[in-house]
Copies of this chain bind each other. A is one copy, B any other.
Amino acid sequence: MRMSELFLSTLREVPAEAETISHQLMLRAGIIRKLAAGVYSYLPLGYRVLRKVENIVREEMDSAGAQELLMSALLPAESYQASGRWDVFGANMFRLKDRNSRDFCLGPTHEEIFTDTVKSCLKSYRQLPVTLYQIQNKYRDESRPRFGIIRSREFVMKDAYSFDRTWEGLDESYDKMYHAYCKIFDRLGLDYIVVDADSGAMGGSGSQEFMVKSEVGEDTICHCPACQYAANVEKAECIAVELEKESALPREKIHTPNVKTIDELVNFLNTDSSKFVKTLIYSGGGKTVAVMVRGDREVNEVKLANHLGVSCDDLELAAPNVVCEVTGADVGFAGPIGLKIPVVMDKEVSFMSNFIVGANETDYHYINVNTEDFEAEVTDVRTIEPGDPCPKCGKPIVTTQGIEVGHIFKLGTKYTDALDCTYLDENGTPQTIIMGCYGIGVSRTIAAAIEQLSDENGIVWPLAIAPYQAIVVPVNVKDETQAKLAEEIYEQLKENSIEVLIDDRQERAGVKFKDADLIGIPVRITVGKKAADGICEFKFRSGGDAEDVSADEAVSKTIAYIKENLL
């Protein structure tokens, strides 16, 4: 493709609205264009990248025996109403009515529709197992779309669903997807980590996320350098260190006027935040509960929701008026003693002695409280922190941020039960089908690759998804010798099926080099003054020195590099 004809508009300045490197570079390099908050178009270069990612995903899904189909994106409400998710999705779902006032949504994820389809098309045990997938636009009306296509409202997703007769069958289907996902992210050239993930309060029996490490990742991953354990912090179990109990000191109510936060309390009492226990009031699934964690810890709402058997979306900190009502005090003075609602206590707290809590009375706290002073359920309900013991080997955990690019999930019978999706077994008896679901954020993966692989000059595409594999840059197109040699190299590369650009624009060399770096083409062949001697410059975008080589060498080096590095 000739750059003079390519529909491309690059920017030198960093667009003000873009916070992250990938978002900035995708706008600057003419990969995407914003149409509305969280809604983007893919320009020609970006679309080539998108299709390459799609094709790698498709090839590996097909190799793993999954069958591709395509559901509509416009979906009638009924199936979602049957599964209950019409309500669960809340404001995150784009909803609309057709001309006859019938309810539709734009599919956020298609569990219901695949289940429905299998229900209507599949009759016999002979047709199982089957794994179906699609690559399609998905829609979520995010409250805070951001980071370009990392969290957007229209995005491309590969979603797959497995249907099995038995739980062992589900394990096999799940393993196939696990291995396919590893191949996909390997081929994409990403540095990723597979972490144990939460599988929710209902229906799930196992779940893993594929994370690309990145500072802008919205997920926190904990990871053990010693034993390679890795999990989403939402999921990672906290091992409470068993402490010997001190002898109980006499409990005392103390006046703490206007001292509402842990920080204020630490200052006021001149002690350490680990001597305090926070009591937080939560509402969820129609219940109100108090949750106790050590003063310097955070409540893990996913663990709490699972413990309570409610959906995470349903759980939230109680409103101030509810807090006042259940504690009889202003916000900031909650504690376990005398509460009439259920109390959930983090395991770590159960080993503490003589700690400090709110007194359920405005401007008062108790000191020297012990677990005998109140009733509470004990469970793991805090979020793991760097330095905490690894739940597998006990060595200190480290944490890092990650972008979730894939998620595999043993769904079980949640949807097949809700939608009555059965098959007839050998005896003609209906049996519930067991499901797994498997997602890849296809568009998000592109942004993740850029976050991981860019440098100060622009994008550094992994070869497998680069929009073009090589670029030929004649320094001065008005110089006939240069132009001729550049065209020859360009034609030879094309004949060898290399996806190649030639920058035949009448631009200064500096502009061309800046653009070539910005759009991140893996191999650059520059044809300058040495063209008279048949010499050009060969350079990798990913680094290393430029080399002067003959035109033939430039071509053969390019071909060899691509053959060796394209998995």
A residues with a Cβ closer than 8 A to B are 4-9, 30, 33, 35-36, 39-44, 46-47, 50, 65, 67-76, 91, 94-96, 98-99, 102, 104, 106, 113, 117, 120-123, 126-127, 130, 132, 137, 139, 141, 143, 153-154, 505-506
Q: Which residues of B contact A67 (CB under 8 A)?
A: 6-7, 44
A7-B67, A73-B154, A74-B106 given; name 6 further pairs at CB < 8 Å.
A35-B75, A39-B74, A41-B70, A43-B121, A46-B69, A126-B505
30 A-B pairs with CB atoms under 8 Å apart are A4-B126, A5-B65, A5-B130, A7-B127, A7-B130, A8-B121, A9-B120, A9-B121, A9-B123, A33-B117, A35-B71, A35-B75, A39-B72, A39-B75, A41-B69, A41-B117, A43-B117, A44-B69, A46-B69, A47-B68, A47-B69, A73-B73, A74-B106, A74-B139, A74-B154, A94-B96, A96-B96, A99-B141, A106-B106, A126-B505
Would B72 and A43 count as touching, CB distance under 8 A?
no
Nearest-Cβ distance from residue A372 to partner chain B, whole angstroms: 48
Nearest-Cβ distance from residue A498 to partner chain B, whole angstroms: 16
A91 to B96, CA, bound (A): 13
Would A36 and B70 count as touching, CB distance under 8 A?
no
A242 to B109, CA, bound (A): 66
Instruction: Give the nearest-CB partner of A8 in chain B.
Output: B121
A102 to B126, CA, bound (A): 49
Most interface-central of A6, A137, A143 (chain B CB within 10 A) = A137
Is the contact region of chain A dominated by helix, strand, or loop, or is it mixed?
mixed
Q: A30-B121, A65-B5, A76-B39 are in contact. Are A70 and B96 (CB under 8 A)?
A: no
Contact of A74 among B6, B30, B50, B153 (CB under 8 A): B153
Q: Which residues of B contact A44 (CB under 8 A)?
A: 67-69, 132
Nearest-Cβ distance from residue A98 to partner chain B, whole angstroms: 5
Q: Which residues of B contact A96 (CB under 8 A)?
A: 94-96, 106
Q: Which residues of B contact A95 (CB under 8 A)?
A: 96
Would A69 and B7 count as touching, CB distance under 8 A?
yes
Nearest-Cβ distance from residue A335 to partner chain B, whole angstroms: 37
Q: Which residues of B contact A68 (CB under 8 A)?
A: 44, 47
A68 to B8, CA, bound (A): 12
6 closest cross-chain pairs (CB), A and B: A96-B96, A9-B121, A36-B76, A42-B70, A41-B71, A44-B67
Nearest-Cβ distance from residue A47 to partner chain B, whole angstroms: 5
Q: Which residues of B contact A137 (CB under 8 A)?
A: 73, 137
Contact of A113 among B41, B106, B127 (CB under 8 A): B41
Q: A9-B122, A67-B7 are in contact. Are A41 and B130 (CB under 8 A)?
A: no
A68 to B106, CA, bound (A): 25
Q: Which residues of B contact A104 (CB under 8 A)?
A: 36
Nearest-Cβ distance from residue A65 to partner chain B, whole angstroms: 7
Q: Which residues of B contact A505 (CB under 8 A)?
A: 126
Instruction: Give the nearest-CB partner of A71 in chain B.
Output: B41
Would B94 and A33 count as touching, CB distance under 8 A?
no
Nearest-Cβ distance from residue A33 to partner chain B, whole angstroms: 6
Nearest-Cβ distance from residue A384 to partner chain B, whole angstroms: 33
Q: Which residues of B contact A71 (CB under 8 A)?
A: 35, 41
Q: Which residues of B contact A7 (CB under 8 A)?
A: 67, 69, 121-122, 127, 130, 132
Instruction: Give the nearest-CB partner of A39 in chain B.
Output: B72
Instruction: Give the nearest-CB partner of A132 in chain B.
Output: B7
Nearest-Cβ distance from residue A64 to partner chain B, whole angstroms: 13
Q: Which residues of B contact A141 (CB under 8 A)?
A: 98-99
Instruction: Give the nearest-CB partner of A121 in chain B.
Output: B9
A127 to B7, CA, bound (A): 7
A505 to B127, CA, bound (A): 10
Would A99 and B143 count as touching, CB distance under 8 A?
yes
Would B76 and A33 count as touching, CB distance under 8 A?
no
Q: Which residues of B contact A127 (CB under 8 A)?
A: 7
Most interface-central of A72, A76, A94, A154 (chain B CB within 10 A) = A72
A367 to B74, CA, bound (A): 58
Would B30 and A43 count as touching, CB distance under 8 A?
no
Q: Which residues of B contact A65 (CB under 8 A)?
A: 5
Q: Which residues of B contact A123 (CB under 8 A)?
A: 9
Nearest-Cβ distance from residue A381 to partner chain B, whole angstroms: 31
Would B47 and A70 count as touching, CB distance under 8 A?
yes
A127 to B9, CA, bound (A): 10
A69 to B47, CA, bound (A): 5
A73 to B137, CA, bound (A): 9
Most interface-central of A41, A127, A137, A153 (chain B CB within 10 A) = A41
A132 to B43, CA, bound (A): 10
